[in-house]
Amino acid sequence: MTDTIIADNITRVRDRIRRAAQQYHRADNSVTLLAVSKTRGADEVRAAHRAGLSDIGENYLSEALDKQAALTELPLVWHFIGPLQSNKSRAVAEHFDWVHSVDRLKLARRLSEQRPPALAALNICLQVNISGEASKAGCAPSALPALAQQVAALPRLRLRGLMAIPAPSDNEAEQRAAFAQLRALLEQLREELPALDTLSMGMSGDMEAAIAEGATIVRVGTDIFGAREKKPSDV
């Protein structure tokens, strides 16, 4: 995809975010656009940066590390958003600014222990399995309060909020109902942990519904970089 197309796509996505923010009485700058660049090359990330984006989301560790190595000159904020095996936590703790996909204490403990002392605390979102699908990653809503307390106490992590990937739906009311659940879970946690400030929710197909329900980070791949070829590992 050419730089011009990526820049035009980003303009369109920004317009959608601005319109949704206005419609739902949110401040324009209250929603961060995270460019999801899985399967895309370093050149495409560079084009997104040139078009004004600095938050980059990656799902696959080795692919992400290659891109980071090719882009060290850019002041990018790297978000790990994919499933993470505990035995791969060290590289994530060393090379990312955020992890959105923490869903168990063991993984959080390792990330905290492995976060290099020279770096700021690693920003964490807990991934919640909102739709209750057995195949989906994420902690059960009922397990969330205990997990949040334990993760918040880890010294090298900074617990920021929640992330979810609801079951896909074309129906805006259904989309909003799922995002409203995540928002309600965050509100509940904030009674004990008032510093939590992040709802990572909404993708290309449902970002307006997510913004309506309070998303502070929308994670957009397809509508910035075009359709992806399916990887066998994609769910």
Ligand X SMILES: *Cc1c(COP(=O)(O)O)cnc(C)c1O
Identity of the residue, 106 or 230, whose beta carbon is nearer to ligand X in the bound complex: 230
Residues 6 or more apart whose CB falls under 8 angstroms from that of 163 comprise 81, 100, 101, 125, 126, 127, 128, 199, 200, 201
Among 47, 81, 128, 209, binds ligand X (CB under 6 A): 81
If one asks whether residue 59 binds ligand X (CB under 6 A), the answer comes out as: yes
Element (H, E) at 64: helix 61-70
Identity of the residue, 59 or 123, whose beta carbon is nearer to ligand X in the bound complex: 59
Segment interacting with ligand X (CB under 6 A) among 91-99, 140-148, 172-180, 219-227: 219-227
Query: Distance (Å, rounded) from C-alpha 200 to C-alpha 65?
Result: 22
Main-chain dihedrals φ then ψ at residue 181, nearest 5 degrees: -60, -45
Half-sphere exposure (Cβ direction) of 120: Cα atoms closer than 13 Å: 8
If one asks whether residue 40 binds ligand X (CB under 6 A), the answer comes out as: no
If one asks whether residue 220 binds ligand X (CB under 6 A), the answer comes out as: yes
Segment interacting with ligand X (CB under 6 A) among 23-31, 60-68, 179-187, 214-222: 214-222
Contact residues for ligand X (CB under 6 A)? 36, 38, 59, 81-82, 165, 203-205, 219-223
